Structure 1
Amino acid sequence: MRTLKTHNIVFLVIAAAAPLTVVSAGVTAAYATSGMPGVPLGYLLCGALVAFFSVGFCAMAKEIPNTAAFFSYVSAGLGKSHGLAASSLAIVSYTAMQIALYCLLGYTASSLFESIVGTYIHWAVWALIALSLVAFLGIKSADATSRILGVLLFLESCAIVFFCVLAIRNPADGLSIGTLSPSALIGTGTGTLLAFTIAGFMGIESSAMYSEEAINPEKTIPNATLISILIISGFYGFSSWSIAQSTGESQVVDSAQESGSDLFFNFIASQGYESIVPLIQLLLVTSLFAAVTAFHNSISRYLMALGREQVIWKNLGTTSENGAPVAASLFQSCFGLFAIATALLAQKLSGYDESFPSAIVFSWMSNAGGFGLVFLLLTTSVSVYFYFRKHKGLYPVFVTKVAPTIAIIGFGTMFVLILANFENLIGDAELWYLVFVIPTIILLCGVAGFVRGELLKRSHPHIYSNIGSGHPPAKAACRVGQPLSRKTLN
């Protein structure tokens, strides 16, 4: 059922980016970990790079409407086994982010509740409450979910705007644009800074996942994608600049290293608004909830697409009358329960204190998810280039060659920089081995998907030949890699 309009998809996309979480925690972490003041410029540059990526990405969305965007586009551009590799990488990356967000939400809610009420409730209880709500929304229509996320998104955006207004009205050293200078972005911490800033755009590609539920997807998906990119890059760039004004640009790195995510809330309290800080912290919890819901939707739709094509258990490909991937959503909810239980068990066995879900799980899983996303964006950019190289004349050269080439160069450079600076992202010299373990595990998941494709080619050629079509094998409307007719699109 096609019910989603442009604004509905924008809500779903931006919710995955978790604006208040990024501004209050991600921005300060970028300043603190990289040791560089060029965070605002980093967000703007990443926004420009993602915009170039979206040009070819949206063109692919018109030609190949499939809820599993990376899967179908890579299948069309590089081959079916490569497409399964991309789908495996996408599911693992999104799942890593979802686990990270569940644990951070539980930890944040537990700390907030104890500070207000004085009673401690374990973080896992809050994570399970969130899981229950996410599971409920997961079997509802995307339209209904987008309305709820839209309200939460509006409230957290108001909190960010409130902070920015205070920072501009009361700058520590007067207003300055030094953080927008190229020199503020060049240094030994450039790769670390870019890793944090590109993470703020995680979920931007999810717009295409709703192509089968969108009204007039040929216009809705490109419009929603562009609007989301403009809002996210502008919002994060301006907010990170405002944080620098609140401390003084010369002190922002030291302040971030000293206060961490409390920097955002401490400044609001210092301006005479201490009484509303708990309310804004509550909005941080709802921001995390909105993000974990959005990632749940993305994973469910990937599982549904793979099940529909019988690449995995075919029952996961079933949907309800309102188009929700019910079976895949319930499966993902069960996995979320398993992940929370595993994190809780790991905490008990390790003897780690109550910061475990934030300091360990969130740090490791979010870095893993972010690494996987950048590699996916790079791979998809390459796929777009080769797809339109095989199918010439469909769009202008800028769409088919120039924009994808810029995206390939940009994401390729970013991938190398992030890999070279992965030790800084882990933040613990004693855990040096994670620099190799985490990227290796993520990439091996992609290899496993590729191997699955090669095995299907030999054992179930009818399923293999149908990969990426968006239809069950017996009802495949076309071969992936060929432009779909407008009749097929409808």
Structure 2
Amino acid sequence: MQNDSAQQGLKPKSLGVSDIVFFVIAAAAPLGATLGAGPVVFAMGGAGAPGIYLIASLVLLLFAIGFAAMSRHVISAGGFAELVSHGLGRPLGNAAGGIALLAYIAILAGIYGQFAAFGAELSSSLAGIQADWRFVALLIIGFVGFFGYLDVKVSAKMLGVLMILEILILVIFDVAVIAKTGIEKLNWNGFLPSQVFTPGLGVALMFAFCCFVGFESTTLYSEEAKNPYRTVPLATYVAIAIIGIFYTFTTWCIGIAYENSDVQTIAGADMVNFVFNANTQYVGPLSTDVMKLLVVSSIFAVLLSFHNALSRYLFALARSHFVPTSLSRVHPKHASPHVASVTLSGATVIVIGAFMFANSDPIQNLYMWMVGLGTLAILVLQTLGAAAVVGFTLKTKKCNSWQGLLAPTLGGGGLALAVFLALKNFSELTGTKEGFVTYLPWLVLIAALLGFLNGYRAKDKLHVTHAAA
């Protein structure tokens, strides 16, 4: 007989639209992405960077229309695995499950490396303490795991505060640029086709898509939503709109800040300080110091968001016997997937431990390689998700033609292009042009195959369980 805690579900009606939006936007890391991927988009795409972000936003919005419509009918913490199963069949759903595990664990491990590097640097510059990045990484894994163990509302509230702070510091920059430039001198050059469609568009667009990773996690909280039928679709639209408008507008302001300069050359020459220098010029050095502090809190917010999302994903997969059923247990007090959370922390230590043992660089190796691999896997998942919406609509007729067929087809086409660009420019995504890293994309195919095969084992176990009952 199963332990009672294994039979309980996640805490229902505990998350509203704003709570889920906090998780999703935190995963997108507005400040971290602006400071990290933003300069790369300018370096590759030049002055057309705002237009490139706008294209990425529109493609993902088209996908989100079908994604949100289907999520009204498929309420589960199983995320893409469950959506793909309903739309394209259980075998492909199992393959999606394997890809999703690879994607989220890779991204989570990579971002731990980023936090460890920034945290060690911050400790040295502000407190004069020389901390090894390995120590910082282990410390933050434990800290994030602690919050993942608690009631999900605790994480939601913390993420809400961190998200507001990081967005606020960039809004101050945006307002300062517009105020000092003057309304009459503002222009829309960054959106002109001649500026957007340049030789560097492919790589720049790929990095723009990277900034949206995590928005699809809205469905992972559907079982805890106050009104899943309304909350999850609305949260998806709100998150995409906020992220897309914010990135596009802030990138436009950065372009205006460098209006009289060769922005592409400047961004390529010093990507680390590209946004910091503009902020110092228009807002002041004190604001830039605050911005540097908020970068670390922004990365922490990403870690907390991804950890919570992946814990729920493991929880859902455990219920279908895709992973050990012990991971489906929830805490008797907090109603959190605490076993999945602790297991995830342990798995993360193992992955990062391999990089520690190899004496790898936390940014050039751990962060770049793992986030590059994870981003590719997420884009593949989103493309499968778009196809699943079409398949679900054709089978059930529960979504109208615009939501279930046309919009996801257009969005899926854009996402398929993004997958192609990520594969073609994988060396740019990971920062490594030779060695075994160039073969990492094969892990996506291997994860899909393992997920597909594991599905049959899980199906047999599920039949045995039902027969015993």
Give me the TM-score of the superposition, normalised by structure 1: 0.88
Match of 2:446? 444
Query: Is the 8 Å Cα contact of residues 98 and 451 (structure 2) preserved in structure 1?
Result: yes
Q: What whole-Å deviation, never above 9, does each CA across 1:146-179 have from its counterpart, x for those lacking one?
A: 0010001111111111222233234599533211
- Equivalents in 1 of 2:335, 2:252: separation in Å? 41
Match of 2:51 among 41, 47, 58: 41
CA 1:314–1:372 in structure 2 vs 1: closer, same or farther (change >3 Å)?
Answer: same
Match of 2:4? none
1:434: how far off? 3.2
Match of 2:293? 282
Match of 1:226? 237
Match of 2:437? 434
Quick one: which amino acid aligns to residue 148 of structure 1? M
SS of 1:36 mapped into structure 2: helix
Match of 1:71 among 76, 81, 88: 81
- Equivalents in 2 of 1:271, 1:191: separation in Å? 31
Query: Is the 8 Å Cα contact of residues 194 and 418 (structure 1) preserved in structure 2?
Result: no
RMSD in angstroms over aligned alpha carbons?
2.2
- Equivalents in 2 of 1:249, 1:87: separation in Å? 48
1:418: how far off? 2.3
- Equivalents in 1 of 2:80, 2:259: separation in Å? 41
Unaligned 5+ segments in structure 2 are 1-10
Unaligned 5+ segments in structure 1 are 464-471, 477-490
Quick one: which amino acid aligns to residue 217 of structure 2? S
Quick one: which amino acid aligns to residue 438 of structure 1? L
Question: Is 1:90 paired with 2:100?
Answer: yes
1:474: how far off? 7.2
1:298: how far off? 1.4
Quick one: which amino acid aligns to residue 91 of structure 2? S
CA 1:319–1:116 in structure 2 vs 1: closer, same or farther (change >3 Å)?
Answer: same
Pairwise mapping of residues 300-379 of structure 1 onto structure 2 (< 5 A)? Answer: 300-321=311-332, 322-347=334-359, 356-379=361-384
1:276: how far off? 3.7
CA 1:382–1:271 in structure 2 vs 1: closer, same or farther (change >3 Å)?
Answer: closer
Match of 2:7? none
CA 1:473–1:171 in structure 2 vs 1: closer, same or farther (change >3 Å)?
Answer: farther
Pairwise mapping of residues 161-200 of structure 1 onto structure 2 (< 5 A)? Answer: 161-171=171-181, 175-200=186-211
CA 1:473–1:309 in structure 2 vs 1: closer, same or farther (change >3 Å)?
Answer: farther
Match of 1:484? none
Question: Is 1:389 paired with 2:394?
Answer: yes
Question: Is 1:260 paired with 2:260?
Answer: no
Match of 1:405? 409
1:461: how far off? 6.7
1:46: how far off? 1.5
CA 1:145–1:345 in structure 2 vs 1: closer, same or farther (change >3 Å)?
Answer: same
Quick one: which amino acid aligns to residue 450 of structure 2? A
Query: Is the 8 Å Cα contact of residues 50 and 407 (structure 1) preserved in structure 2?
Result: yes
- Equivalents in 2 of 1:190, 1:438: separation in Å? 24
Match of 1:486? none
Determine what percentage of the aligned residue pairs are the same residue: 31
Q: Which range is displaced more, 165-174 or 193-202? A: 165-174
- Equivalents in 1 of 2:446, 2:353: separation in Å? 24
Quick one: which amino acid aligns to residue 444 of structure 2? I
Quick one: which amino acid aligns to residue 266 of structure 2? S
Query: Is the 8 Å Cα contact of residues 190 and 417 (structure 1) preserved in structure 2?
Result: no
Match of 2:418 among 414, 417, 429: 414
Equivalent residue pairs, number: 456
- Equivalents in 1 of 2:83, 2:372: separation in Å? 25
- Equivalents in 2 of 1:120, 1:316: separation in Å? 38
Quick one: which amino acid aligns to residue 53 of structure 2? Y
1:331: how far off? 0.2
1:249: how far off? 6.5
Match of 2:8? none
Pairwise mapping of residues 411-490 of structure 1 onto structure 2 (< 5 A)? Answer: 411-429=415-433, 431=434, 434-435=437-438, 437-456=439-458, 459-460=460-461, 462=463
- Equivalents in 1 of 2:109, 2:209: separation in Å? 19
Quick one: which amino acid aligns to residue 367 of structure 1? G
1:293: how far off? 0.8
Q: What whole-Å deviation, never above 9, does each CA across 1:273-298 have from its counterpart, x for those lacking one?
A: 22343322111000000001111111
CA 1:190–1:109 in structure 2 vs 1: closer, same or farther (change >3 Å)?
Answer: same
Query: Is the 8 Å Cα contact of residues 171 and 247 (structure 1) preserved in structure 2?
Result: no
Quick one: which amino acid aligns to residue 441 of structure 1? L
CA 1:178–1:219 in structure 2 vs 1: closer, same or farther (change >3 Å)?
Answer: same
Query: Is the 8 Å Cα contact of residues 114 and 363 (structure 2) preserved in structure 1?
Result: yes
Question: Is 1:26 paired with 2:28?
Answer: no
- Equivalents in 2 of 1:98, 1:249: separation in Å? 39
Query: Is the 8 Å Cα contact of residues 308 and 318 (structure 1) preserved in structure 2?
Result: no
1:432: how far off? 6.2
- Equivalents in 2 of 1:280, 1:440: separation in Å? 38
CA 1:272–1:181 in structure 2 vs 1: closer, same or farther (change >3 Å)?
Answer: closer
Match of 1:52 among 50, 62, 65: 62
